[in-house]
Chain A
Amino acid sequence: MTTRNERFSRERLAGYDPDLMGRSVVLIVGAGALGQNVAQDLALSGVGEIRIIDKDTFEDHNQTRSPAYPIGEEQAQYGLKKARAVAHKLRRLMTAPQARMRYADAWIQELGDGAFKDVSVVLSCVDTQAGRAHLADKTRLLGLPLIEAGFEGADISLSVYPAVTGEQARVTPCWRCTHQEAVGAFSCQFYAAAAERAGIVPAIQNAAAVLGGLQAEAAIQVLHLEGEAPLQTRVMDFNIRHGDARVLKLATDSLCPGVHRAFERMPVKLTVSATSTVGQLLEELSQYFALPPMVELFYRFVWSATCPACDRLVAVRQPDWLWMMDARCAECRGVGANAELASTISTPTMYSQLTTGCNEELLQTSCQTVGLPPLSLIEAIDEGGTVKLFELSGSLDDLFQLEESYG
């Protein structure tokens, strides 16, 4: 019989604390080549809970760099959705005594703040600039460490952004300090998304495996050493063929468009949920303020916009990140990406704030629809400048599926 001490004896000698690892929750965003390799390493290393998020579906070419590619009957049983298939295949590798694997077939933006609840460290394994920017902003706001990575061919890159609060949140470099073209304006976001859809990035398993190992080890070091972790506020470049390596210090940009602050207060738990209406949300919030409160949305809510393909005004009713993924009316979709969006969508009707003064139809719209899923953190401010933080009701089970096949 294998005892726990025997199982982790080598890891202890290497400086790992299995108890700490077992208590840790890692959020892996992206279940492609990198996400699978890093998830595999962390599962074996004894992390207690792994959450995997990906909206994508496996394609045949993924198989050459996908340790968790579903084969044979698995495809029939679990399908080809990456998050589910990867969670199923890697759950059996988890060595923590009470291991838990959660997964979500979703965009990270779709899950809101709840995806990060109780998370110890976030690993960015996404290949979209919008996704990377989202993770940079959310981790900074929530005071979480972020391990960011990317690769192309034999070149790999890894950077570590520490968990910071207070003044440190303002002055510590974030991913967006050096990636300012990524998001922010409609045009930029669309441009990047369209390019990413069209782009083909060279990818090999050996690079994904090396980078996955580096990213997993960086996460483990962050778990153990917090603010003293090696490579924090550093970016490391490495070529796996030539061995060329370089470590650079990240720097803060004074005009960074990203989030450079962290929530400083514990949220008040609300009774309203994601299925409640905006009006119901505002009504409950008003109980905590002397003056009418206003909610600032993390992503603007697009009420109506001009379809760039046919120039007709269309009812959108989506957060801007979602609309911009395929910003065309229902009739025009399926024709192919429209790169002219940025110049033609000049007067969309969008809401960046929710108040009782919003139109009646919006007040009757659900919180989920406007971009507030379960467990969303809501920062509300009243006219007198009083700011309070709230949490929408819900549970992780509203956001993730629990992989129980090998539990």
Chain B
Amino acid sequence: MDNNRIEVHFTHPRNAQTFTAELDPNCTGQVALQGLIAGDERGPFLEQPAPGRPYQLALKRNHQLIPPNTTFADAGVTNGDVIEVRQDLQGA
């Protein structure tokens, strides 16, 4: 693994699946989510979000959301961290 990159594990919002990725710490939350939607050779990890139901990322270690334009480095993400994907709820 490139010394400048970190390995993180994403958990799916609705099932037990995880997705492990090597990322540049300067990757933002938004870019990471785009990557999870694009997926890899196995297919997308996340389906396209319905309008009004955006995905959000949260660092499991400190229970803090990672905003779309915040880098993983600024959010304190380090090698081996688990990132939870949550999906917002629309109804009222």
Contacts and interface: CB of A to CB of B under 8 A. Distances in A.
Interface of A: 30, 32-35, 124-129, 149-152, 155-157, 173, 177-182, 191-192, 194-196, 199, 201-203, 235, 237, 246-256
A149 B54 CA distance: 15
B87 to A, nearest CB: 9
A304 B51 CA distance: 27
B89 A156 contact: yes
Nearest to B51: A195
Contacts of A182: 52
B4 interface: no
Contacts of B62: 249
A235 B91 CA distance: 16
B52 A178 contact: no
Contacts of B68: 178, 180, 253, 255
Contact of B89 (A30, A33, A157, A255): A157
Given A150-B88, A253-B67, 10 more contacts: A173-B67, A177-B67, A179-B88, A182-B52, A195-B52, A246-B86, A250-B65, A254-B69, A254-B70, A255-B69
Contact of A203 (B50, B54, B75, B91): B91
Interface in B39-92: 50-52, 54, 56, 58, 62-70, 75, 84, 86, 88-92
Contacts of A254: 67, 69-70
Interface of B: 50-52, 54, 56, 58, 62-70, 75, 84, 86, 88-92
29 contacts: A33-B92, A34-B91, A125-B92, A126-B92, A128-B52, A149-B92, A150-B88, A151-B91, A151-B92, A152-B89, A152-B91, A155-B89, A157-B88, A173-B67, A178-B88, A179-B54, A182-B52, A191-B51, A194-B51, A196-B52, A248-B63, A248-B64, A248-B65, A249-B65, A250-B65, A251-B70, A252-B67, A254-B69, A255-B69
